Amino acid sequence: MDAGTARTDAQAAFRQELRSFTKAHGTSQAVRALLDDPAGYDPAVWELMAKQLGLPGLIVGEEHGGSGAGAAEAVIALEELGAVMLPSPFLPTLLGTVAVLAGGRAAGRILPAVAAGQQRLALAGADVASTGLASTGLASTGGEVSATADGDGGWRLTGQVPCVLDGAGASLILVVASTGEGPALFAVQAGAPGLTAVALETLDLTRREARLSFDAVPAELASDPDQAAWLTRVRALAALAVAAGSLGGIRRCLEMATGYAKERTAFGRTIGSFQAVKHMCADMLVDLECTRAAVEHAAKVADRADESGPPGEAAAAALPAACSVAKAYASDAVVRAATTLIQVHGGLGFTWEHDAHLFYRRAFSDEQLFGDAAAHRAQLAAALVVPA
């Protein structure tokens, strides 16, 4: 098995712990048992992920009871969970945490409960349209929620967000909404009056998504007005998080395809000895290493962006492009990998019983979440071609 990258001994140990965990709890059988489950995950396993791996509070600071880890560790966790598609609230909770941290204002109130495993988060309205015009930057599909001050220091949200990961299951929803002074982040309790969550049919059977409607829903402001770049940072890191999961998926697709190509025989030879099949696997390997390089680079930039001083500022400025590079490459690569996985398996890969279609479904879900490849390339092109 691909050893994966670890820059420190602690990261190597963390990856090893995750692998032991997913080996025990992320079996095909366990994943399949949850496909029809309304919640879509096993609460007992999520509790273990909290106790043994500290995943709910992974990037929450130690002052709030979290592990205080950075993007590098988050990317490792996402890669390892993505490799087995173990369903859990980890990704939506991580996305919500990223938003709360970037917003700044409500970290102390929200994050201790998250780190303690008592709060499942969802992030709504930070998604980007899959067809952003280069000249206008990324359009937001979440711009339809607007916030108005209720006069008592609170806010009311009205509008709709179409595809929210864990939107019906989360206990606290972080919503990007427009105010008179630009976009701001709001926290909404599940079950708040005026909030409707409609569960959606999902291509990826291991993910739960909901359409959220807001009708004058009471909300708490969770971003500081002086945190101008917070939304850019949230979008960049959300795209990176999905790309990191794709990295794990590509790795697993390559392992499955090469494993099969080594044992399946046709015309008296293993099919991996045919160049037509061998070269498909080689191209997957290229995609795996390129995705890994892009994702890990972006994570490095993200961690550097947390440092103070000029190097941190330079990294913060470079972060959106680095994350767009990772998401643009990973989105295309994960789709290629899952498609190739099925092709290498032939008819077997087209059956319900084989796991290939689960990876195929996940790949096309990853492709679209937080901007597809073309949207991120449009964003990059805007910076490259259009004068500032």
Taking the complex as a whole, the smallest distance from the CB of residue 257 to other proteins amounts, in Å, to 9
Describe the crossing of helices 90-103 and 71-84 by its angle, rounded to 10 degrees: 160
**CA atoms within 13 A of residue 71's CA, in its CB half-sphere:** 29
Task: Please state the closest distance from residue 150 (CB atom) to other proteins, in A.
Answer: 42
Least distance (Å) from other proteins to the CB of residue 295?
9
**Where does 264-372 have alpha helices with state H?**
275-305, 310-345, 356-368
Paired sense of beta strands 195-199 and 209-221, if any = antiparallel
The least distance separating other proteins from the CB of residue 365, rounded to whole angstroms, comes to 21
Q: What is the CA radius of gyration of the chain?
A: 21
Instruction: Answer yes or no: are the C-beta atoms of 343 and 264 closer than 8 Å.
Output: no
Q: Which is closer to other proteins, CB of 220 or CB of 283?
A: 283
Q: Between residues 144 and 283, which has the closer beta carbon with respect to other proteins?
A: 283
Using CA atoms, how far residue 287 sits from 3, 41, 357, 362, 374, in Å, is 16, 30, 19, 17, 17
Query: How far is Cα 271 from Cα 317, in angstroms, rounded to an integer?
Result: 48
In a 3-state reduction of DSSP, which class is residue 218?
strand
Q: Which residues bind other proteins (CB under 8 A)?
A: 5, 7, 133-135, 254, 258, 261-262, 269-270, 272-275, 277-279, 281-283, 285-286, 289-290, 292-294, 296-297, 322, 325, 328-329, 374, 376-378, 380-382, 384-387
**Closer residue to other proteins in complex, CB, 183/249:** 249
Q: Are strands 121-124 and 172-179 parallel, antiparallel or unpaired?
A: parallel
Q: How far is the CB of 58 from other proteins (least distance, A)?
A: 24
Question: Mind spelling out the 3-state secondary structure of 13-59?
Answer: HHHHHHHHHHHHHCCHHHHHHCCCCCCCCCHHHHHHHHHHHCCCCCC
Q: How far is the CB of 296 from other proteins (least distance, A)?
A: 7
Token pair belonging to 280: 């498909």
In the bound complex, what is the minimum distance in angstroms from residue 263's beta carbon to other proteins? 10
Nearer to other proteins, 235 or 376 (CB): 376
Residue 123 has φ and ψ, to the nearest 5°, of: -120, 125
**Nearer Cβ to other proteins, position 166 or 372?**
372
Q: Measured from the CB atom, is 5 or 178 closer to other proteins?
A: 5
Secondary structure percentages of the chain, helix, strand, coil, to 5: 55, 15, 30
**Minimum Å distance from CB 370 to other proteins?**
16
CB nearer other proteins, residue 110 or residue 281: 281
Q: Which is nearer to other proteins, 231 or 281 (CB)?
A: 281
